């Protein structure tokens, strides 16, 4: 902060993922994912938000995930961190509204499955791919951040569009029905062929 000075826009976009049944994860996986996916956002926000409050000006964009909207098998730890990012962002937004800091804004961004990168190799079945089409390029997410989060000041940004339908389904369907629909769509096996790009031998991968 001493070197950078006042910051008007802060985009928190660092993350890692590990896949597999929760019972197979060592506690180190939990510690590592929460440190990178969650603690890093806390640290940067705690440094820059006070000055944004003082100036009543700023926008913090936190990259969550489609997995921050719905639980998924083999991604329990990852989902926990991304749900936390979503809740953290919403709580900060409500605090700013309550404090009448209308010039300070908060957005959470929820990308679906990208063809390349962090979730490379993951596969849903035909129904799953139909309900949740893949995001072609990382640039598509970057454009959504600029055009929808920053320019249009959206509180939440979801891509692809079908993630909106998922939230509607959650509101209208009993949980057990939505859960069964996810299993029918192939969620239970979607990470079996996951490679995650340049995955290390710990089953983890990072993006920045």
Catalytic residues: 78
**Strands of 9-12's sheet in order across:** 9-12, 58-63, 104-111, 156-159
User: In a 10 Å sphere around its CB, with 0-12 CB exposed, 13-18 middle and 19+ buried, how is residue 11 labelled?
Assistant: middle
Task: Give the list of residues 6+ apart from residue 112 with CB closer than 8 angstroms, or none.
Answer: 66, 132, 133, 134, 135, 158, 159, 160, 162, 163
Please check whether residue 150 is in contact with residue 106, taking contact to mean a CB–CB distance below 8 angstroms.
no
d(CA 10, CA 59): 6
DSSP, collapsed to helix, strand or coil, labels residue 117 as coil
Per-residue b or e along 33-68, where b marks 16 or more CB atoms closer than 10 Å to that residue's CB: beebbbeebeebbeebbeebbeeeebbbbbbbbbbb
For 94, counting Cβ atoms within 10 Å of its Cβ (0-12 exposed, 13-18 middle, 19+ buried), the class is exposed
């Amino acid at each position: 902060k001493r070197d950078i000075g006042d910051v008007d826009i802060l985009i928190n976009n660092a993350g890692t993922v590990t896949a597999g049944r929760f019972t197979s994860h060592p506690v180190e996986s939990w510690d590592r994912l929460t440190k990178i996916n969650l603690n890093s956002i806390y640290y940067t926000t705690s440094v820059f938000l006070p000055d944004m409050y003082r100036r009543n000006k700023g926008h913090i964009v936190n990259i969550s995930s489609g997995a921050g909207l719905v639980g998924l098998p083999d991604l329990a730890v990852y989902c926990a961190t991304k749900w936390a990012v979503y809740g953290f962002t919403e709580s900060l937004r409500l605090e700013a509204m309550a404090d009448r800091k209308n010039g300070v804004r908060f957005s959470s961004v929820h990308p679906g499955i990208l063809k390349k990168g962090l979730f490379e190799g993951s596969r849903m079945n035909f129904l799953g791919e139909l309900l949740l089409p893949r995001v072609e390029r990382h640039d598509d997410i970057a454009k959504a951040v600029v055009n929808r989060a920053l320019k249009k000041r959206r509180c939440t940004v979801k891509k692809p569009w079908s993630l909106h339908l998922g939230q509607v389904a959650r509101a209208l369907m009993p949980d057990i029905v939505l859960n069964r629909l996810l299993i029918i769509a192939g969620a239970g096996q979607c990470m079996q062929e996951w490679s995650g790009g340049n995955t290390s031998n710990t089953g983890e991968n990072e993006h920045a």
